[in-house]
Structure 1
Amino acid sequence: MLDEWKLARLYRAQYRAVGHHSAVKVCHWTKEAIRGHAPCYKQTFYGIKTANCLEMSPAITCNQRCLHCWRDTTIFSKGWVGPVDDPKDIIKGCIEERKKLLIGFMGNKNVEKSKVQDALNPKHAAISLTGEPCMYPRISELIDEFYAQGFESVYLVTSGTVPEALEKLNKLPTNLYLSLTAANLEQYKELCRPVEIDCWQRIQKSLDLMSKINTNTVIRITLIDKLNTENPEEFVPYIERAKAKYVECKAYMHVGYSKDRLTEAHMPSMETIRKFGKVIEENSNYKAKDERSDSRVLLLERTAKR
């Protein structure tokens, strides 16, 4: 599934390919946590330990080509191509490659060796690194296997374009994220550039499914200044439709391959994010709960029963 040129581009970006279609990478915040600096905002909001996070994806493919995506979308295929690896093999490979990426910290005299040793044993899985994870045909089995191997929490991040995968989940992820970047079809086509004609309709189905899923559900709105920050009230019906426990209003960050499509000016300020969140508050059953200005993210929590 991964050609040599795709593998080379992944490697240059510090990804490590696993098997036929998976990848792992150590994120900036994991490295910062090992150094003793500030953790990822998800530790602040939800209590997961950043240094023990395994960020990976079982699907280096996607049915969207989002403007704001910091991944290399040129390596994505339009659908699933090739073999389907076993979840056990994927997890084993991701843990091994992650260790190789982190082992260099053992030679850093400014880092406590005990912190590195602890970080080498991941306890949290974030299925979110690249592509659309729900396109992996065995996503439910993958989540089950993470739990079977003793992982304390498993996060699944999806665009919502594969609702049938959500319907078939066995053990639920600790947090189920749905990325919602647009509040209408025209905005969706402009920002997310789907490669399938019914993706918007599929997202609506996933929103309905979220309202019935009994786990921590999160709507994450990636805010791109001037492109989707000026119609916050239009997002409210979708948020209420999903009845998610949390809503994250998160700034687009001008990093990675997104720099080829957007400018630094498209990163909204924390004040812009707060104003956006305030409109959501005033028109919904959500109230601001927390924020991290260094990550430009605001957390809203649902106040009404589902």
Structure 2
Amino acid sequence: MDQPEMILKEAMENHQNMIKQFKGVPGVKLERFEEGMKVKHCALSLVGEPIMYPEINRFLKLLHHCKISSFLVTNAQFPVEIINLKPVTQLYVSVDASTKDSLKKIDRPLFKNFWQRFLDSLTALAAKPQRTVYRLTLVKSWNVDELQAYAELVSLGCPDFIEVKGVTYCGESSASSLTMANVPWHEEVVRFVWELVDLIPDYEVACEHEHSNCLLIAHRKFKIGGEWWTWIDYNRFQELIQEYEDSGGARTFCAEDYMARTPHWALFGASERGFDPKDTRHQRKSGSKNIARC
């Protein structure tokens, strides 16, 4: 088994080697290049199931010692591991469907008792004091009509946030029957979110990122004085996790302890629709048809 120290060392080296390839490339800003060389965040997701790694807590401790934030995504099949997981900056659970039949169709789970493991994982998530997120990926014709069932799952796991995103089509594959017809338009995602919010009274639509075909639903506890505080104060998180480690876990903390005010351009309803006005967006100049679904 690979040791956490080796994994982190090689991951940081590989990251920096990839960034170096952009040096001198036309359009690359020097300050962004220099910023990219310093590893600040780590997303434990995409390939495999990171929570299964036996040394995941030691790896997280190494990340935080290096002042690197931790974003861990689990597919909600390992409830015991969720219970035993030490604090992370943000813990995601992939909620790819809201019924047993649709979850089996979409995720093709390995365990016979996958549905009970799924429910137990959401229950375990509810006990986590740090930031928790349901990640809902909408697949048109597969899981967009299960609103009431989704609402019931929200009441089970009580996440701080619900990230709703249209599925991304990555081309034909023998492992998937997805086509572009399964990719919802952005306005269809918006409509789904509004209908879901009507069923979960403690939540509101907070943010939007049209370019990613994604919206964020947030618990109302993050709306203070009429303003949303859905962003993360990373420096404060590092202070809190250090206090947690120094106290042997006695000094705990919660999501509200390291929240930051959401910038106006990221809010739902803003004219920027989630695109930072400080950046320049380059539109494709070719005459090819836009199939981005947003």
TM-score by length of 2: 0.71
Determine if the alignment matches structure 1 residue 136 to structure 2 residue 67: no
For residues 87 and 199 of structure 1, the distance between their equivalents in structure 2, rounded to whole angstroms, comes to: 29
Contact 1:218 1:245 in 2 (8 A): yes
Structure 1 stretches (4+) deviating beyond 6 angstroms? none
1:193-232 counterparts in 2 under 5 A? Answer: 193-232=108-147
Q: 2: CA distance between counterparts of 1:136 and 1:191?
A: 24
Q: Matches of residues 96-175 of structure 1 in structure 2 within 5 Å?
A: 96-151=13-68, 153-170=69-86, 172-175=87-90
Take 2:146 and 2:158, find their aligned partners in 1: how far apart are those partners?
20
Contact kept in structure 2, 1:139 and 1:165, CA below 8 Å: no
Q: Provide the C-alpha distance between the structure 2 equivalents of 1:110 and 1:291, rounded to a whole number of angstroms.
A: 27
- The 5-angstrom pairing of residues 26-105 of structure 1 reads 84-105=1-22
Q: In 1, are the aligned partners of 2:172 and 2:178 still within 8 Å (CA)?
A: no
Q: Which amino acid is the alignment partner of residue 182 of structure 1?
A: A
1:190 Cα deviation after fit: 0.7
RMSD: 1.8
Contact 2:138–2:167 under 8 Å retained in 1: yes
| Offset at residue 139 of structure 1 (A) | 1.2
Q: Which residue of 1 aligns with 2:191?
A: 275
What is the DSSP-based 3-state SS (H/G/I as helix, E as strand, rest coil) of the residue aligned with 2:141?
Answer: coil
Offset of residue 147 of structure 1? 0.3
The match for 1:187 among 98, 102, 119 is 102
Q: Secondary structure at the match of 1:189?
A: helix
Alignment check: 8 A CA contact 2:23 2:33 kept: yes
CA contact (8 A) 1:233 1:279 kept: no
Provide the C-alpha distance between the structure 2 equivalents of 1:142 and 1:202, rounded to a whole number of angstroms: 25
1:244 aligns to what SS in structure 2?
Answer: coil
Of all paired residues, the percent bearing the same amino acid is 27
Give the aligned partner of residue 231 of structure 2: none
Aligned counterparts of 1:137 and 1:199: Cα–Cα separation in 2: 21
Could you tell me which residue of structure 2 aligns to residue 263 of structure 1? 179
* Matched AA of 1:146: L
- What are the superposed Cα offsets for residues 120-170 of structure 1, whole Å, 9 maximum, x if unpaired? 11111111131111121111111111001221x211111111122111122
Larger radius of gyration: 2
TM-score (norm 1): 0.69
Distance 1:256 1:96, change over 3 A: farther
**What does the per-residue CA deviation read over 1:163-188, in whole Å, with 9 as the maximum and x for residues that have no partner?**
22111122x11111000011111111
Q: For residues 234 and 287 of structure 1, do their structure 2 counterparts lie closer, same or farther at Cα, with a shift above 3 Å needed?
A: same
- 1:272 and 1:258 mapped to 2: Cα distance? 25
Unaligned runs of 5+ in 1: 1-83
Matching residue of 1:246: 161
Q: How far apart in 2 are the matches of 1:291 and 1:192?
A: 26
Are the equivalent residues in 2 in contact too, given 1:280–1:286 (CA < 8 A)?
A: no
Contact 2:171 2:179 in 1 (8 A): no
1:257 Cα deviation after fit: 6.5
Q: Count residues in correspondence.
A: 221
Q: Give the direction of change, closer, same or farther, for the CA distance of 1:256–1:156 in structure 2 (3 Å limit).
A: farther
Contact 1:208–1:241 (Cα < 8 Å) also in 2:
yes
Q: 1:253 to 1:180 in 2, by over 3 A?
A: same
When structure 1 is superposed on structure 2, of 246-255 and 256-265 the one drifting more is: 256-265
CA distance in 1, matches of 2:72, 2:162: 15
Report the AA paired with residue 265 of structure 1.
A
Instruction: Describe the SS at the equivalent of 2:142.
Output: coil
Q: Residue 22 of structure 2 aligns to a residue in which SS?
A: helix
Structure 2 gaps of 5+ residues are 223-254, 256-294
- Matched letter for residue 212 of structure 2: S
